[in-house]
Amino acid sequence: MNIHWDWIAGNLDEIAGATLEHLELTLIAVGVGFALSLLLALAIYRWRRLYGPVAGVAGLLYTIPSLALFAVLVPFTGLSVLTAEIGLVGYTLLILIRGIVSGLDGVPRDAVEAATGMGYAAGQRLSRVELPLAVPVIVTSVRLATVTTIGLVMVTALIGEGGLGQLMLRGFNRGFPTMVYVGVVMSVVLAVTLDLVLVGLQRLLTPWARKRTA
Amino acid sequence: MPEQATARAATVEFEHVTKHYERREAKDGALGAVNDLSLVVPAGKICVLVGPSGCGKTTSLKMVNRLIEPTSGRILLDGVDAAARDVTELRRSIGYVIQQVGLFPHQTIAENVATVPRLLGWPSARQRQRAEELLQLVGLDPATYATRYPVELSGGERQRVGVARALAADPPIMLMDEPFGAVDPIVRERLQDEFLRLQETLAKTILFVTHDIDEAIKMGDLVAVLADGGALAQFGRPAEILASPATPFVARFVGADRGLKRLSLRRVDDLELLPPVTANVRDMGTADLLRALASSFPWLLLVDDLGRPAGWIARGDVRPGVPLADAPTVAAEPLVDRSATLKDALSRLLDADVHAGIVVDRERRVRGLVTVAGIAALLRETAGPDRGPGEADPLDLGDAMP
């Protein structure tokens, strides 16, 4: 393995730029995907019969090979960030919807019954009892979606986006492996960092989940 | 203990309340139907709904805070139809305790207790203060418990928190669905005793669901026995239900040992005590003593100078002219407290050499004897639908019976 450290030293700006772009594409995809999934999951939680159709569509999206999906979208939305994000968001839905629904399903029934019986209105109960208690499961699904998205962002290099994917693609084209290695290492660093941030966020949000049983 | 007592309590009145379940609903819940239930729970009383599973007792309870809506009939709280009230406002004014407690795992104990005050928008300082008062009330030190999470508490402690949470906004009515069902028997008994003591000052109107007839008898001022299909089989004071079950179902449900169960409802105080034949430990045996023993309980009770029991002497060992101190004595047992239940007293009597309990006052002075015959006589006297002595009836149940 022949790494050109001098290239790395001379192109830190480009590496940082590609990493930031990769991060940005990931965060937008997971953020928008989460917002959509939350709405859909709450609708499913309320009207259970929606679960089959919604999960079916999200599952279908998930099974389309990423390259094919982007290729299909390009005639409509061009070689753009929008095209990339539509695909990326689409891939997060299945994981996030399932995660949020099973998080809500896992809330202890007795806590929900007590909340209702003591006079929580439905909305209050959702925001103050059910969602907070679903946080651990929801965060787990967000971690999974995030790591998956970081991988998929690589593929968007083929439609002119891609952050670190661009770096790798150019490395392949020029027969210059150092760029490929940098792309791989930085994407792993990105994935691990975001995962740790999410774990930290969960610990912050759920101090109660760390307590030991009496 | 902080100032707690409020006179606020409300009557709860079921008027021909019926709940039918559609077949689809019946399938996913094991909730029983209720069939034309009419009864009145007077303000400040504990009414226990008891019956086999599927008899509709929990359904009846949940119709009060409208977790379940009746198919027909009305439930009146202090004369106002529950169905006419705003449902969240109604629920916030009714304390609710369930078997699994349902504490919020993500909130501290203090936050859990302050749930309804928070929903009612009390200032946070007052919420905190109220939570501490209530923890104290249920015997949990706020300094230790307020900032803990439910998962850090034992089952019994959680149940106490559940009761504290239900009392937080001082509701006039409490609904308790098998509140002590999930803890072991020793803890359960302690929680029951503590709760009855609390209720003496709180005087809430309480609807209490259990499947355990012993708990029903212990906790209830009134007991409603529900039969399969959700029909009211009998409604009355525990002693009445034990003494004269209205139907064969009730008789079976209260059990063949209902005579023994009645013993736990009465206290030594209710008995007319037998005056013992007593003598000072330094006295001589006399013919008078022998005569007295012949016509009374056949054991002589020795007492010391302060009137405290010192020992028993059998009639056959009392001899005129011989110092009693020389006669063989049996230890002065069993001592029975005046507030003991007849069940406990009887159990002590049967265990002892001398089958009479020595009832003593606070200074351990002898007040009288309780005997097996005396206990049996009291039960005979109060058998049947008429009320026992000293049970003046504050409840008018005339309209409540079906």
Rounded Cα–Cα distance for residues B65 and B72 (Å): 15
- Is the minimum CB–CB distance between A107 and chain B shorter than 8 Å? no
Average pLDDT in chain B: 86
Give the mean model confidence (pLDDT) for residues B259-270.
83
How many beta-carbon pairs under 8 angstroms link A with B? 79
pLDDT at residue B3 in the model: 38
Q: What are phi and psi of B227, to 5 degrees?
A: -100, 170
Give the mean model confidence (pLDDT) for residues A104-112.
95
Contact criterion met (CB < 8 Å) for B91 and A114: no
Q: Domain residues of chain B, as ranges?
A: 12-255, 269-381
- Is the minimum CB–CB distance between A210 and chain B shorter than 8 Å? no
Give per-residue pLDDT as tens, B333-390.
Answer: 888 888 888 888 888 888 888 888 899 888 888 888 898 888 888 877 765 444 433 3
| Full DSSP string of A39-66 | HHHHHHHHSGGGHHHHHHHHHHHHHS-H
Q: What are phi and psi of B247, to 5 degrees?
A: -135, 165
Cβ atoms of B121 and B92 within 8 Å: the answer is: no
Closest residue in A to B64 (Cα–Cα) = A117
Could you tell me the pLDDT band of residue B143, with boundaries at 50, 70 and 90?
very high
Give per-residue pLDDT as tens, B6-55.
Answer: 447 899 999 999 998 876 665 555 678 899 999 999 999 999 999 998 88
Strands B278-280, B299-303: parallel, antiparallel or unpaired by DSSP?
A: parallel
Partners of B62 on chain A (C-beta within 8 Å) are 117
Rounded Cα–Cα distance for residues A30 and A22 (Å): 12
Give per-residue pLDDT as tens, B294-337.
Answer: 888 888 888 888 888 988 888 888 888 888 888 888 888 888 88
Contact criterion met (CB < 8 Å) for A116 and B101: no
What is the distance of C-alpha B399 from the center of its chain? Answer: 25
pLDDT at residue B175 in the model: 97
Give the mean model confidence (pLDDT) for residues B243-248.
91
Distance in Å, alpha carbon of B170 to nearest chain A alpha carbon:
13
- From A111, A113, A212, residue closest to B105, measured CB to CB: A111
pLDDT at residue B259 in the model: 78
Average pLDDT in chain A: 92
- Is the minimum CB–CB distance between A40 and chain B shorter than 8 Å? no
Give per-residue pLDDT as tens, B162-181.
Answer: 999 999 999 999 999 999 98
Contact criterion met (CB < 8 Å) for A119 and B119: yes
Rounded Cα–Cα distance for residues B292 and B117 (Å): 67
Rounded Cα–Cα distance for residues B246 and B88 (Å): 39
pLDDT at residue A108 in the model: 94
pLDDT at residue B392 in the model: 41
Distance in Å, alpha carbon of B189 to nearest chain A alpha carbon:
21
Rounded Cα–Cα distance for residues B196 and B215 (Å): 12
Tokens linked to B325: 């101190």
DSSP 8-state class, residue A12: H
Rounded Cα–Cα distance for residues B385 and B83 (Å): 36
Single out the residue of A59, A45, A31 nearest to residue A134, CA to CA. A45
Architecture (CATH level 2) of domain A22-207: Orthogonal Bundle (1.10)
Share of residues in chain A with pLDDT > 90 (%): 77
- Is the minimum CB–CB distance between B106 and chain A shorter than 8 Å? yes
Rounded Cα–Cα distance for residues A29 and A24 (Å): 8
Q: Residue B44: CA atoms inside 13 Å, Cβ hemisphere, count?
A: 10
Give per-residue pLDDT as tens, A189-205.
Answer: 999 999 999 999 999 99
- Is the minimum CB–CB distance between A206 and chain B shorter than 8 Å? yes
The residue with tokens 């507030």 is B339
Single out the residue of B187, B105, B92, B188 nearest to residue B151, CA to CA. B105
pLDDT at residue B24 in the model: 60
- From A121, A207, A208, residue closest to B88, measured CB to CB: A121
Single out the residue of A180, A181, A194, A179 nearest to residue A149, CA to CA. A194
Partners of A209 on chain B (C-beta within 8 Å) are 105-106
What is the distance of C-alpha A165 from the center of its chain? Answer: 17
ipTM, two decimals, is 0.84
Could you tell me the pLDDT band of residue B256, with boundaries at 50, 70 and 90?
confident
Contact criterion met (CB < 8 Å) for A117 and B67: yes
Single out the residue of B224, B218, B221, B228 nearest to residue B192, CA to CA. B218
Task: Kindly list the strands in the beta sheet with B80-81, ordered across the sheet, starting from the edge strand earlier in the chain.
Answer: B34-41, B12-19, B72-77, B80-81
Candidate CATH numbers 3.30.70.2200, 3.10.580.10, 3.90.79.10, 1.25.40.10; the one for domain B269-381: 3.10.580.10
Candidate CATH numbers 2.60.40.10, 3.30.1330.60, 2.40.30.60, 3.40.50.300; the one for domain B12-255: 3.40.50.300
- Is the minimum CB–CB distance between A75 and chain B shorter than 8 Å? no
Distance in Å, alpha carbon of B1 to nearest chain A alpha carbon:
25
Q: Give the best residue of A109, A110, A118, A130 to mutate against chain B (max B CB count within 10 A).
A: A118
Burial of B194 (0-12, 13-18, 19+ CB in 10 A): middle
Q: Domain residues of chain A, as ranges?
A: 22-207
Q: Give the best residue of A133, A208, A212, A213 to mutate against chain B (max B CB count within 10 A).
A: A208
